[in-house]
Amino acid sequence: MNKSEPTTIVIFGASGDLTRRKLIPALFEVSLEGLLAKGTRIVGFARREKSHEQFRVEIEEALVEFARSKPNAGSDELKVFSSSCYYQTGNYDNGKSFHDLKELLERLDKENGVSPDKGNRLFYLATPPNVFSGIVGMLGQTGHIVDPNSDDRWTRVIIEKPFGRDLETACTLNKSLSAILDERQIYRIDHYLGKETVQNIMAFRFGNSIFEPLWDRRYVSHVHITVAEAVCVEGRGSYYDNSGALRDMVQNHMLQLLALVAMEPPASFAPNAVRDEKVKLLSAIPPIGAGDINECSIRGQYAAGTIDGKLVPDYLRENGVQPNSVTETFVALKLHVDNWRWAGIPFYLRTGKALAERLTEVNIEFRQPPLALFSHMQNGKSGGRGRMKPNMLSLRVQPNEGIRLSIGMKVPGQKMVLEPQDMEFCYEDVFDVESAGAYERLILDAILGDTTLFIRQDEVEAAWKLVNGVLCGWASEEVPHIHLYRAGTWGPYAADEFIKNDIRNSKAL
């Protein structure tokens, strides 16, 4: 990896969970690996009064609990890292707080021997979304943002999801950001893009020659993308109840997975070349309209059950959730990509909380051979209508990251009996190094100025256009059509039926 330039990283929302669990541990790991330039400083900004010392103590505690390399409390590595961290108390709508912050940053530059007009700044907005525009506005007003064309120094702003809660609010947010920042300075983060195995989707498709020729409507019969979580709302009930699975997972992570699986090969691996292809792909998906909402979507909500031997209450009894909430904790969608490559091929997306297991997987099912030569001779593991199971390629994003190809094999013996077998590649068995966490990769990319794995404005808007269709369809129902499922299962029975029937019908065509 390239080494970064000295930078001051300011985290807004420094007292929050994301900072403690993900951002500080990610920065610690990249600094341990020597990937942060000497002189890099981290400044936490939040409302709570706190001294630099108190902040450092909290940082060390968070690292002991959450850092990937499991440092010991009081170890030198923790001390060295925390000594590069500072804290600024402030309000997000108060000009004075931002002036105080500026003074602190300039003082740190001076101590580091960086001349006043040379300091690089990475601002990380790990706050609730309602203050995103306000913070960026304040940064603009108080002179924190430098000219995007400057050769001497740079300002970049990382923004966490959610980017709006529908198309309109996403456009409003984008407008208010672009009034202050150039698109080149905005890094909208989707942590799924920082996962090794998500990046491997592109490597797999475009770095090998054997699969890409099969990657289209002639050979693929349908694609499933599953992001199953065994966790519930984990103390985020009030956020989640206002969001739901569609906004929380589909608008961002799942549509990004879909875009990477289905997009055309980019002309190069340059940031805009990749992002152009993702936008083209998302724009080729016709939004689900109110007329076909029930044929193309199923939503569910979990009821009490057991996961890993632990009792889980009804979603409606979680803290922060409205007692009569109709927010979906599960969603299954059927989408189409109306382009030359994919016309007519269904893409099924499925995600939910409180499911049986944590599993993120892309399954590409291939068409059956044109002639069923061995249909009367298979080993009981049928693919329906007396045929072998179709070939399936599974890209496993998490856990047990890897790739599996299921093919029909002859069982040894006199008879021509076939049975499906898996060819498997498992990351853990092959590579001896632990993958860097998603935030490690992405924060480092932001410091290096590489926007490839960040979401561009038009990508966010294209994804919202799709999601808006579903939201409008659901809103048009007189009585919300929501299926309950028991926590610890694979979601509503209706979702399985819906997908199975749909596949059966499309094969019958």
Residues at the interface with ligand BG6 (CB under 6 A): 229, 248
Phi-psi label, residue 493: left if phi above 0, alpha if psi -120 to 50, beta otherwise: alpha
Q: Cβ 227 to ligand BG6, closest distance in Å?
A: 7
- The residue among 8 and 256 lying less far from ligand BG6, judged by its C-beta, is 256
Q: Cβ 177 to ligand BG6, closest distance in Å?
A: 20
- The residue among 132 and 342 lying less far from ligand BG6, judged by its C-beta, is 132
- The residue among 352 and 383 lying less far from ligand BG6, judged by its C-beta, is 352
- The residue among 337 and 444 lying less far from ligand BG6, judged by its C-beta, is 444
Residue environment code for 241-252, b if the CB has 16+ CB neighbours within 10 A, otherwise e:
bbbbbbbbbbbb
Residue environment code for 419-453, b if the CB has 16+ CB neighbours within 10 A, otherwise e:
ebeeeeeebeeeeeeebbbbbbbbbbbbbebbbbb
Q: Cβ 358 to ligand BG6, closest distance in Å?
A: 7
Q: Alpha-carbon distance 232 to 123, whole Å? A: 30
- The residue among 221 and 251 lying less far from ligand BG6, judged by its C-beta, is 251
Q: Cβ 205 to ligand BG6, closest distance in Å?
A: 21
Q: Cβ 68 to ligand BG6, closest distance in Å?
A: 14
- The residue among 89 and 400 lying less far from ligand BG6, judged by its C-beta, is 400
Q: Alpha-carbon distance 165 to 248, whole Å? A: 9
Maximal CA-CA distance, the chain: 85
Q: Alpha-carbon distance 331 to 494, whole Å? A: 11
Q: How many CA atoms lie within 13 A of 488 on its CB side?
A: 11
Q: Cβ 246 to ligand BG6, closest distance in Å?
A: 12
- Which of 344, 358, 424 is CA-nearest to residue 392? 424
Q: Examine the residue annotation and report whether 253 is marked as an active-site residue of this protein.
A: yes
- Which of 440, 459, 414 is CA-nearest to residue 277? 459
Q: Cβ 229 to ligand BG6, closest distance in Å?
A: 5
- The residue of the chain with the least Cβ separation from ligand BG6 equals 248
- Which of 257, 190, 267 is CA-nearest to residue 453? 190
- The residue among 174 and 251 lying less far from ligand BG6, judged by its C-beta, is 251
Catalytic residue among 222, 224, 253, 336: 253
Q: Are 9 and 124 in contact (CB under 8 A)?
A: yes
Q: Are 10 and 124 in contact (CB under 8 A)?
A: yes
- The token duo for 227 is 């992001």
Q: What are phi and psi of 208, to 5 degrees?
A: -125, 150
Residue listed under structure tokens 């490690």: 440
Tell me which residues are annotated as active site.
Answer: 253
